[in-house]
Amino acid sequence: MNSRLDAALNDTPKSIADYLRSLFNSENFDATISAQQFEELLVLSGLSDDELRICLLPFAAAYSYAPISEFYVGSIVRGLSGRLYFGANMEFIGAQMSQTVHAEQCGISHAWMKGETGIIDITVNYSPCGHCRQFMNELTTANELKVQLPERDEMSLQQYLPDSFGPADLDIDARLMDGKTKSYQTHESDPLVLKAVEALNYSHAPYSENHSGVALRLADGSVYLGSYAENAAFNPSLPPLQVALAQILMADKSFEQIDTAALAELSAGKISNLDGTQSTLDALNPDITFTYISL
């Protein structure tokens, strides 16, 4: 078990500490809690739904990678399936500040890459910044989404973002997490490049049409994918590398284990994720082998 998860167990109610310890110790624990497990925790703890989510926040924040701020943010995102996904903030020394991933973006991209098509609620240990509120306004469920903070009443995203700007203002029907896929193909045979194309086909890029995806292979042979999550306000877009790194963080693996990277994007796209991907990978570790393919 991650030692920070272990430390957070000391502050959790006794009624659920044993259950959580065995969950976190289980080999298939992947920083998610199924609807059924959450139900069992509700019964054991006697807490209400929101109280239990708040009580679980330190476990999400335990994943935070924040070497710049040392400010540990955790999020818990509930997908439409009822499963809960942890997320945490990520900062990269030596990279551009804009490459930072907020806990909300991490949790949402975690749920998205594991196949969710919308989120019911998000619980965060600090108030979501303006950038995150805008990022969430791109979601399929932006109009229903609820936000829960410790010691606050639940509020909707739209209450946190009055007079919101979003995809409809640009006449765009696509939404982040809508599950729609593209079917671009390549003649390349490199398996990691094929994985990057798979991630490209799952991306949300209705503004630039630069569908793009990243695949990262670790030294242990495991592969993590990231699809580009574009935003109507452009700047809050989450690049595909960030989404892939979020999956590595939530798999409790280290960025030092990244051995090979592939980025696939469309040559007809109106922007490119090449420079940002290369420079952040370089800041992480200049020895990572990088392949780029433009379709």
Binding site for ligand THU (CB under 6 A): 66, 69, 71, 73, 89, 91, 100, 102-104, 126, 128-129, 132
| Residue 100 Cβ vs Zn ion, minimum distance, rounded to whole Å | 9
| Binding window for Zn ion (CB under 5 A); candidates: 7-15, 94-102, 150-158, 188-196 | 94-102
Angle of helix 14-25 relative to helix 49-61, nearest 10 degrees, comes to: 50
Determine if 56 is a binding residue for Zn ion (CB under 5 A): no
Q: Which does 170 bind (CB under 5 to 8 A by kind): Zn ion, ligand THU, none?
A: none
Whole-number Å distance between alpha carbons of 145 and 111: 14
Angle of helix 14-25 relative to helix 35-45, nearest 10 degrees, comes to: 150
Determine if 102 is a binding residue for Zn ion (CB under 5 A): yes
| Residue 72 Cβ vs ligand THU, minimum distance, rounded to whole Å | 8
Whole-number Å distance between alpha carbons of 66 and 101: 10
Asked if 156 contacts 144 with a C-beta cutoff of 8 angstroms, the reply is yes
Burial class (CB in 10 A: 0-12, 13-18, 19+), 271: middle
Catalytic residue chosen out of the listed positions 27, 39, 104, 116: 104
* 104 included as an active-site residue: yes
Asked if 81 contacts 116 with a C-beta cutoff of 8 angstroms, the reply is yes
| Residue 75 or 212 with smaller CB distance to ligand THU | 75
| Residue 128 or 226 with smaller CB distance to ligand THU | 128
User: Two tokens at 149?
Assistant: 């903070």
Count of residues that bind Zn ion according to CB under 5 A: 4
Q: Which does 91 bind (CB under 5 to 8 A by kind): Zn ion, ligand THU, none?
A: ligand THU
Determine if 129 is a binding residue for Zn ion (CB under 5 A): yes
The residue to which tokens 């979003």 are assigned? 166
| Residue 125 or 210 with smaller CB distance to ligand THU | 125
Asked if 165 contacts 134 with a C-beta cutoff of 8 angstroms, the reply is yes
| Residue 62 or 196 with smaller CB distance to ligand THU | 62
Q: Which does 100 bind (CB under 5 to 8 A by kind): Zn ion, ligand THU, none?
A: ligand THU
Q: Residue 88: phi, psi to the nearest 5?
A: -155, 160
| Residue among 28, 113, 41 at smallest CA distance from 77 | 113
| Residue 145 or 262 with smaller CB distance to Zn ion | 145
| Residue 146 or 182 with smaller CB distance to ligand THU | 146
Shortest-Cβ-distance residue relative to Zn ion? 132
Counted residue by residue, the chain has a size of 295
Determine if 132 is a binding residue for Zn ion (CB under 5 A): yes
User: Two tokens at 63?
Assistant: 């994943």
Beta strands in the chain (DSSP E): 32-33, 74-79, 84-88, 119-124, 146-148, 155-156, 212-218, 223-227, 258-265, 289-294
Instruction: Fill in the amino acid letter for 30.
Output: D
User: Two tokens at 87?
Assistant: 């997320």
| Binding window for Zn ion (CB under 5 A); candidates: 42-50, 96-104, 257-265, 273-281 | 96-104
Q: Which residues are catalytic?
A: 104
Which spans of this chain sit near Zn ion (rule: CB under 5 A)? 102, 129, 131-132
